[in-house]
A and B are shown apart, each in its own frame.
Chain A
Amino acid sequence: MSTTSIARPAASGPAGRTAGPAVQRPRGYRRVRPYVLSVAGLAVAALFALPYVVMLLDALRPSGDVLATPPSFLPREWQWGTFGTILSDARFLSWLKSSLLVASVSTVVVLVVAVPAAYFTARYRFRGRTAFLLLVLATQMFSPTALVVGIYREFFQLNLVNTYMALILTNAAFNLAFAIWILQGFFASIPQEIEEAAHLDGCGRFGTLWRVMLPLTLPGLVTTVTFTFIAAWNEYVVALTLIQDDARKPLTVGISSYVTGYEQNWDQLFAASVIAIVPVVILFAAIEKHLVGGLTAGAVK
């Protein structure tokens, strides 16, 4: 089944924003449906959050209690000060800053580079199109662990060791594949007619892309932003190798300090980890509603 033959966009704008798939259901189910869904949804949510609730509780007990036998779900002794300790630690704050900077800029770079490439691959036939898509995909097949020696050599020669620039470039390059592949799919599924209509209205190629196509691919963009930001946020081995100054280390590298073979601060490790999740969830909360957008043609004016 071809995508375009089915996808006939709702030209009605707001009407397209109705709830998900609405197909025939038995009557009785209709009535209890909201409750069933809520219960199921909340149960699944609890399942996903549970390990991290344990993590939070581990941050709220003395380090010695974290690995205590037998274990206890709630702390035997509550210790509220750990988050304060972490948040007033200048080293932690500088790691947090590095992570925020590297992850944000990497995400922007990926978007700027991937959107044109994805759009072009979706809309044009050109020689080497398949080769390009496969090349992009191939970049993902090399694990950074295997490439880190060469990456170090490269940035050493470019005199970029110990710079954010090196991390941003690496993160951007290694996360392009996802962005290009998923956005490519989204662009391809947008019917040609919409674009042609925009053309007739006098939009140029870039204008069409910016004003018409991007709003239509918002779910894809949101997924891409989420993915790239998280990947850059959690990158470890390249930052470990390229960054020398303690202040420029990202969180992932920095927080390995909390637990060593000689001194274990499990409470601080987990408190730091909880804090490290927060920016991602905030970012996600801010853009999540666009996932609902779906394919509406309301954007074409």
Chain B
Amino acid sequence: MTATATGSGAGTSRAGLGVTALWLGPALALIVGVVLYPAVELVRASTSDYSITGLRKGAAGADNYRRVLEHPDLSTVLLNTVVWVAAVLVLSIVISLGLAQLMSKEFFGRRLLRWAVIVPWAASLVITARLFMLLLDYNYGILNQVLLSAGIVDTPVDFLGDDRFTMPSMIGVGTFVTLPFTAYVLLAGLKGIPDDVYEAARMDGASPWQAYTRITLPLLRPALMVATVLNIIYVFNSFPIVYTLNDRNPGFAHDTTITFMYKLAFKSAEKSVGMSAAAGVFNVLLILVVVLAYLRISNWKEATDA
């Protein structure tokens, strides 16, 4: 091993190509071997002309991309996606900050709390989505039953069929299933902050709020960043919640880019895997732009280089 701790900056070392390949090789092999090839296939599919059966009939050039861009529901879908991603992301980060704090404290029942929080994560999204479909239904939904008997509403609320409530319902469930992951990443971050830092703050006479904003939040930054970046991607690509809660609604009124992509291939009159692949490529580019923008705004390189 040639590299020694002689590095510049914050004490990192420089490494040559051979060493790099040794440490990163397995990861690169997996990524290139398993992810890259299908990604290339996706691009190839997006420039191909397919029959409704999936049979490739020839090259399509940019036709699929054009048809996606000209799709009458595209603007609705994009708007839905922005609302969905922004709302779920913000809600889950904000709530998780509190939740992680709570989970990090020592109290009777903490273990129970930690186990309970893991459950929505442990249950598969497909099942959780189906479960909430039952809970939120107009006729047999238990939530409506509760609201009715508590006198909060006079008639049931059509959470999944009424256009005013569909997106908020999806966002609620989407946030609920995103919380465990986010809270645990933040909890791990909190636990990475050494206790003596707080000790020092206490000596300096900092109030709890000051300690939180001046010490906890800045030190939590790497964890927050990981949680945010990955959540952007996961929420963008979150399929089961949007698809299942929305599957009674005709058309694309409440679809996001990912369910739009799926419906283009299998559920709508377009039934075109080429168009769907083009939408898939757009989806990746969209995520890429959002993530890069976020990384730039949040000074990601500075944070990870530190």
Residue A48 lies at the interface, judged by CB distance under 8 Å to chain B = yes
A38 to B110, CA, bound (A): 7
Chain A, 161-197, contact with B by CB distance < 8 Å: what is the 0/1 string? 0000000011011101110111011101100100110
Within 8 A of A (CB), among B180-201: 180-181, 184-185, 187-199, 201
Which residue of A2, A45, A133, A227 contacts B117 across the interface (Cβ within 8 Å)? A45
In the assembled complex, the CB of B219 is this many whole angstroms from the nearest CB of chain A, namely 7
Q: Is the interface of A mostly helix, strand, loop or mixed?
A: helix
Q: Is A44 a contact of B99 with CB atoms below 8 Å?
A: yes
Which residue of A6, A181, A204 contacts B229 across the interface (Cβ within 8 Å)? A181
Which residue of A3, A25, A288 contacts B114 across the interface (Cβ within 8 Å)? A288
Chain B, 108-123, contact with A by CB distance < 8 Å: what is the 0/1 string? 1111111111111111
Residues of A within 8 A of B215 (CB): 6
Chain B, 90-121, contact with A by CB distance < 8 Å: what is the 0/1 string? 00000000010011111111111111111111
Residue B76 lies at the interface, judged by CB distance under 8 Å to chain A = no
Residues of A within 8 A of B222 (CB): 3, 185, 188-189
Q: Is A150 a contact of B41 with CB atoms below 8 Å?
A: yes
Closest B residue, CB atoms, query A3 = B306
Chain B, 207-227, contact with A by CB distance < 8 Å: what is the 0/1 string? 110010001101100110110
Closest B residue, CB atoms, query A52 = B119
Residue B165 lies at the interface, judged by CB distance under 8 Å to chain A = no
Residue A222 lies at the interface, judged by CB distance under 8 Å to chain B = yes
Residues of A within 8 A of B128 (CB): 51
Q: Is B9 a contact of A125 with CB atoms below 8 Å?
A: yes
Q: Is A284 a contact of B122 with CB atoms below 8 Å?
A: yes
Chain B, 1-29, contact with A by CB distance < 8 Å: what is the 0/1 string? 10101011111111111011001101110
Q: A54-B135, A112-B26, A288-B111 are in contact. Are A184 and B211 (CB under 8 A)?
A: no
Q: Is A113 a contact of B26 with CB atoms below 8 Å?
A: yes
Which residue of B108, B131, B188, B207 contacts A51 across the interface (Cβ within 8 Å)? B131
Closest B residue, CB atoms, query A46 = B116
In the assembled complex, the CB of B24 is this many whole angstroms from the nearest CB of chain A, namely 5
Q: Is A188 a contact of B306 with CB atoms below 8 Å?
A: yes
A18 to B180, CA, bound (A): 25
Residue A117 lies at the interface, judged by CB distance under 8 Å to chain B = yes
Closest A residue, CB atoms, query B118 = A284
Q: Is B191 a contact of A147 with CB atoms below 8 Å?
A: no
Max chain A Cβ within 10 angstroms of own Cβ: one of B19, B26, B205: B26
Which residue of A117, A127, A233, A295 contacts B27 across the interface (Cβ within 8 Å)? A117
Max chain B Cβ within 10 angstroms of own Cβ: one of A22, A23, A204: A23
A143 to B237, CA, bound (A): 6
A136 to B189, CA, bound (A): 21
Q: Is B284 a contact of A120 with CB atoms below 8 Å?
A: no
Chain A, 1-36, contact with B by CB distance < 8 Å: what is the 0/1 string? 111101111100000101111111100000000100
Residues of B within 8 A of A42 (CB): 109, 112-113
Residue A146 lies at the interface, judged by CB distance under 8 Å to chain B = yes
Residues of B within 8 A of A188 (CB): 222, 304, 306
Residues of A within 8 A of B23 (CB): 116-117, 119-120, 124
Q: Is A24 a contact of B39 with CB atoms below 8 Å?
A: no
Residues of A within 8 A of B10 (CB): 2, 4, 192
Residue A202 lies at the interface, judged by CB distance under 8 Å to chain B = no
Residue A90 lies at the interface, judged by CB distance under 8 Å to chain B = no
Residues of A within 8 A of B234 (CB): 140
A113 to B24, CA, bound (A): 8
Residues of B within 8 A of A247 (CB): none
Q: Is B40 a contact of A219 with CB atoms below 8 Å?
A: no
Q: A124-B14, A146-B283, A291-B188 are in contact. Are A252 and B126 (CB under 8 A)?
A: yes
Chain A, 41-74, contact with B by CB distance < 8 Å: what is the 0/1 string? 1101110110110110010000000111111110
Q: Is B1 a contact of A205 with CB atoms below 8 Å?
A: yes
Q: A38-B108, A41-B102, A125-B9 are in contact. Are A73 and B190 (CB under 8 A)?
A: no
Q: A16-B195, A181-B226 are in contact. Are A196 and B35 (CB under 8 A)?
A: no
Residues of A within 8 A of B219 (CB): 1, 3, 6-7
Residue B45 lies at the interface, judged by CB distance under 8 Å to chain A = yes
Q: Is B115 a contact of A189 with CB atoms below 8 Å?
A: no
Which residue of B15, B192, B197 contacts A120 across the interface (Cβ within 8 Å)? B15
Q: Is A4 a contact of B306 with CB atoms below 8 Å?
A: yes
Question: With A9-B194, A41-B113, A54-B131 given, can you name 19 additional A-B contacts, CB distance below 8 Å?
Answer: A21-B195, A23-B206, A24-B205, A34-B108, A37-B102, A48-B179, A71-B142, A114-B27, A127-B20, A146-B277, A149-B42, A154-B34, A177-B230, A181-B230, A182-B188, A199-B5, A219-B188, A219-B192, A226-B121
B residues sitting closer than 8 Å to A (CB atoms) are 1, 3, 5, 7-17, 19-20, 23-24, 26-28, 30-31, 33-35, 37-42, 45, 99, 102-128, 130-132, 134-135, 137, 139-142, 145, 176, 179-181, 184-185, 187-199, 201-202, 205-208, 211, 215-216, 218-219, 222-223, 225-226, 229-230, 233-234, 236-237, 239-240, 258, 261-262, 273, 276-277, 280, 283-284, 287-288, 291, 301, 304, 306
For this complex, 28 residue pairs linking A to B, each with C-beta atoms less than 8 Å apart, are: A6-B219, A7-B193, A23-B206, A25-B208, A40-B102, A41-B107, A41-B112, A45-B116, A123-B13, A124-B19, A125-B9, A125-B15, A132-B24, A138-B288, A140-B230, A143-B261, A146-B261, A149-B38, A150-B40, A153-B41, A154-B37, A178-B230, A192-B5, A220-B188, A223-B185, A277-B119, A281-B115, A295-B191
